[in-house]
């Protein structure tokens, strides 16, 4: 029964899995073991060689199942060929009559279902390029005429750059994706010209350059047109002379071809037109010295005639100067306008006149080119003009800037003033025209000088004083043509601490338990002073305080024996140099009442002991009546005999001395 149930359950599951209309997609079992790529006949070949790229894939599979293989050939990571096949044969990718463009790095990729493998790359190098061929549409042309030039790279493919040469000089470059390029060349000079071309096949990252093409000669004929430039006078020309200039065309008879004439000097166009002659007149000036040009334009042809002209100055450009060089407002000044040179053969000195602009500048003429007056309160611009024979020349602008007098300088210190140490003094005037000379004086004697030329500069002096009253002896002088003195330097002088002492109250031999101890720390120097008290053996201070006095105390109340030890103090002020006293040994003695009490107790004990001894001694005498205070004598006995004395008494004769105390 159980076996029948299992069979029915299995049948049900199989019938549900293989439902009508559902296809079973069972995954193939295989592995791609290896993919390799090779070049035949070799990796380096000359051009026109038939090259085969072979891709071999080794695949292991279960049974005789047919697998779909998708091959892809890549050149420099770019797909160039793909094929899907069920064959296990090697994939062959032919490159018939290989060219330089076929050079590169090749890889092969195989994909089967969801698995893919890529081979290592193989580099193919195809050497040699075909010789370029150059063709021109004309062999004989007129100057300025264009020629169509065509350069061909037979059999080459890919990205190609063509170069065109005229008389061995590169004149054009064209990049195309075909094996030829065309361009136009214009010949502007007459004679025989030699043309050739070359090309480069670009295979990133490499480039292959071809040899030179065939040479084609072109004969360029001159057109019979000539520009003519004439300038009068021919010989020495002075300013003021009239220059007559003509620009004309010489052409063949009965030739009416359209032309253009242009007359110019430098960048200035003087005249232009389509007639056969241009005339131009001007008054010669020094600025007209230079090259004149007559330009002829016939279509695309340009011909030029040039001549140089030298114009002699009648007088030089005037210069305007000031005397004195520096002035303060409302101070006298003189302006001098003068031309340094003149052509004496054409011009007398008296013929040259000078004027000052602006005319209302409050300066009075005092001779030829001399103007006097007073400086204004603000900056003012002046120019002068020299005139002779109708020629006027103006000087450059002269700006008169009256100097602003220096203000009384302020003298300050830039840091703490500590006796015996260097510090900086700053001298500064709030107003005044630069440069300013600052001089530091001590008791009105110059110590040092600094010149301030720029607004960001400062006059800083480094000094050292050895006495506190020296600080007020410093003053500062500022000078920019006017002198001003500062007030005396006012600053606090910090005296470093010295001579530290530690005073003990009460005195060292009279310090007892229960007393109050005062440790007084004193120094010489500028307060405020920070005092610290230490006990030898302890790193931390016992007490610290800041005082505006040169001494202060630390109190220890109710002294005890454990307060004994070595004590010292330290002090520091704004000079930041700490000083310390010598250590003092404190010995706390026992209190007097304790000594008296101990002495009394000792005497009482001694008295009690003495009394007890006396009582004891007397009790012993009462027990021996025959003894009569005479040593060695007994009543009814013999003095020299001791045999009659009691035995125990004779042994006590050694205690006779203490008994008498």
Taking residue 599's Cβ as centre, other Cβ atoms within 10 Å add up to: 10
Q: What is the DSSP string of 159-222?
A: EEEEEEEETTEEEEEEEESSSEEEEEEE--S-EEEEEEEEEEEEETTEEEE------EEEEEEP
pLDDT tens sequence across 466-490: 999 999 999 999 999 899 999 999 9
Pick the range with the lowest mean pLDDT from 53-67, 200-214, 473-487, 590-604. 590-604
Please report the pLDDT score of residue 612 as a whole number: 83
pLDDT surpassing 50 at residue 9: no
Q: Are 57 and 35 in contact (CB under 8 A)?
A: yes
Q: Quickly state the pLDDT bin for 45 (edges 50, 70, 90).
A: very high
Residues 6 or more apart whose CB falls under 8 angstroms from that of 59 comprise 30, 31, 32, 33, 67, 69, 88, 112
Peptide bond into 324 cis (omega under 30): yes
Q: For the residues 593-602, what does the mean pLDDT come to?
A: 74
State the Rg of the chain over Cα: 63
| CA atoms lying within 13 Å on the CB side of residue 132 | 31
Residues 6 or more apart whose CB falls under 8 angstroms from that of 573 comprise 494, 496, 497, 525, 526, 527, 528, 529, 530
The whole-angstrom separation of Cα 400 and Cα 332 is 12
3-state secondary structure of 509: helix
Q: For the residues 55-83, what does the mean pLDDT come to?
A: 90
Q: Which helix (H) or strand (E) holds 441?
A: strand 436-442
Residue with tokens 């195309």: 176
The whole-angstrom separation of Cα 607 and Cα 599 is 12
Of 261, 375, 258, 236, the closest CA to residue 313 belongs to 236
Residues 6 or more apart whose CB falls under 8 angstroms from that of 1 comprise none
Q: Which residue has the higher pLDDT, 621 or 657?
A: 621
pLDDT tens sequence across 156-187: 988 999 999 999 999 999 999 999 999 999 88
Pick the range with the lowest mean pLDDT from 355-364, 491-500, 554-563, 632-641. 632-641
Please report the pLDDT score of residue 588 as a whole number: 82
Q: What is the mean pLDDT of the chain?
A: 85
pLDDT tens sequence across 266-290: 899 999 998 889 999 999 998 899 9
pLDDT surpassing 80 at residue 142: yes
- Structure-block tokens of residue 520: 């007084």
Please report the pLDDT score of residue 643 as a whole number: 35
pLDDT tens sequence across 279-318: 999 999 988 999 999 999 887 788 899 999 999 999 999 9
Q: Quickly state the pLDDT bin for 435 (edges 50, 70, 90).
A: very high
Q: Quickly state the pLDDT bin for 658 (edges 50, 70, 90).
A: very low
pLDDT surpassing 50 at residue 13: no
The whole-angstrom separation of Cα 260 and Cα 229 is 14
Q: Quickly state the pLDDT bin for 458 (edges 50, 70, 90).
A: very high
3-state secondary structure of 425: strand
Cα torsion through 634, 637, 641, 645, rounded to 10: -50
Residues 6 or more apart whose CB falls under 8 angstroms from that of 7 comprise none
Q: Which helix (H) or strand (E) holds 10?
A: helix 2-17
Q: Which helix (H) or strand (E) holds 54?
A: strand 51-61
pLDDT tens sequence across 370-411: 999 998 888 899 999 999 988 999 999 999 999 999 999 999
Pick the range with the lowest mean pLDDT from 30-39, 247-256, 504-513. 247-256
Percent of the chain residues topping a pLDDT of 70: 89
594: region left, alpha or beta (phi > 0 left; psi from -120 to 50 alpha): alpha
Phi, psi of 4 (to 5 degrees): -65, -40
Please report the pLDDT score of residue 595 as a whole number: 67
pLDDT tens sequence across 556-595: 888 888 888 999 999 999 999 899 999 999 888 876 667 6
pLDDT surpassing 50 at residue 447: yes
Please report the pLDDT score of residue 145 as a whole number: 86
Q: Quickly state the pLDDT bin for 460 (edges 50, 70, 90).
A: very high
pLDDT surpassing 50 at residue 131: yes
The whole-angstrom separation of Cα 347 and Cα 314 is 7
pLDDT surpassing 90 at residue 117: yes
């Amino acid at each position: 029964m159980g076996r029948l149930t299992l069979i029915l359950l299995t049948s049900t599951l199989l019938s549900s899995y293989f439902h009508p209309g559902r296809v079973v997609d069972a995954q193939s079992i295989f592995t791609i073991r290896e993919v390799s790529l090779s070049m035949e006949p070799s990796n380096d070949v000359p051009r026109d060689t038939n090259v085969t790229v072979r891709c071999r894939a080794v695949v292991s599979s279960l049974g005789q199942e047919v697998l779909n293989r998708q091959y892809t050939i890549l050149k420099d990571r770019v797909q160039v060929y793909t094929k899907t096949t069920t064959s296990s044969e090697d994939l062959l990718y032919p490159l018939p009559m290989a060219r330089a463009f076929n050079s590169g790095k090749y890889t092969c990729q195989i994909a089967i279902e969801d698995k893919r493998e890529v081979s290592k790359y193989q580099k193919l190098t195809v050497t040699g390029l075909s010789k370029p061929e150059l063709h021109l549409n004309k062999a004989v042309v007129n100057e300025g005429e264009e020629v169509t030039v065509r350069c061909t790279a037979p059999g080459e493919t890919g990205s190609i750059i063509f170069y065109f040469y005229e008389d061995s000089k590169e004149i054009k470059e064209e990049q195309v994706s075909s094996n030829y390029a065309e361009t136009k060349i214009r010949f502007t000079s007459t004679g025989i010209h030699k043309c050739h071309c070359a090309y480069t096949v670009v295979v990133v990252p490499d480039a292959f350059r071809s040899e030179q093409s065939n040479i084609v000669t072109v004969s360029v004929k001159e057109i019979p047109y000539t520009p003519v430039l004439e300038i009068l006078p021919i010989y020495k020309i002075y300013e003021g002379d009239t220059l007559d200039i003509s620009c004309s065309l010489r052409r063949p008879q009965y030739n009416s071809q359209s032309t253009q004439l242009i007359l110019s000097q430098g960048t200035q166009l003087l005249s232009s037109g389509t007639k056969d002659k241009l005339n131009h007149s001007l008054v010669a000036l020094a600025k007209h010295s230079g090259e004149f040009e007559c330009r002829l334009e016939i279509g695309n042809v340009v011909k030029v005639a040039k001549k140089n002209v030298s114009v002699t100055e009648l007088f030089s450009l005037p210069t305007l100067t000031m005397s004195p060089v520096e002035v303060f407002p409302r101070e006298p000044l003189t302006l001098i306008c003068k031309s340094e040179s003149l052509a004496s053969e054409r011009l007398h000195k008296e013929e040259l006149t000078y004027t000052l602009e602006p005319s209302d500048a409050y300066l009075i003429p005092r001779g030829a080119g001399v103007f006097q007056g007073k400086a204004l309160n603000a900056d003012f611009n002046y120019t002068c003009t020299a005139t002779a024979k109708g020629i006027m020349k103006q000087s450059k602008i002269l700006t008169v800037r009256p100097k602003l007098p220096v203000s009384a300088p302020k003298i300050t210190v830039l840091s703490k003033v500590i006796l015996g140490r260097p510090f900086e003094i700053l001298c500064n005037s709030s107003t005044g025209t630069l440069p300013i000379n600052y001089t530091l004086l001590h008791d009105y004697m110059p110590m040092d000088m600094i010149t301030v030329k720029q607004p960001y500069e400062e006059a800083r002096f480094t000094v050292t004083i050895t006495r506190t009253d020296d600080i007020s002896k410093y003053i500062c002088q500022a000078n920019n043509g006017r002198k001003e003195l500062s007030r005396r330097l006012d600053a606090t002088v910090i005296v470093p601490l010295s001579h530290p002492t530690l005073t003990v109250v009460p005195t060292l031999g009279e310090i007892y338990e229960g007393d109050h101890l005062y440790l007084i720390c004193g120094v010489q120097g500028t307060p405020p002073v920070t005092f610290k008290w230490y006990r030898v053996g302890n790193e931390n201070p016992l007490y610290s305080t800041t005082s505006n006095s040169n001494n202060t105390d630390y109190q220890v109340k109710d002294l005890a024996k454990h307060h004994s030890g070595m004590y010292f103090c330290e002090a520091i002020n704004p000079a930041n140099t700490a000083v310390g006293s010598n250590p003092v040994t404190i010995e706390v003695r026992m209190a007097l009442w304790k000594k008296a009490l101990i002495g009394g107790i000792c005497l009482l004990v001694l008295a009690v002991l003495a009394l007890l001894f006396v009582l004891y001694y007397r009790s012993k005498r009462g027990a021996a009546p025959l003894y009569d205070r005479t040593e060695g004598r007994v009543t009814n006995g013999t003095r020299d005999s001791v045999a009659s004395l009691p035995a125990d008494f004779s042994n006590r004769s050694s205690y006779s001395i203490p008994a008498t105390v």
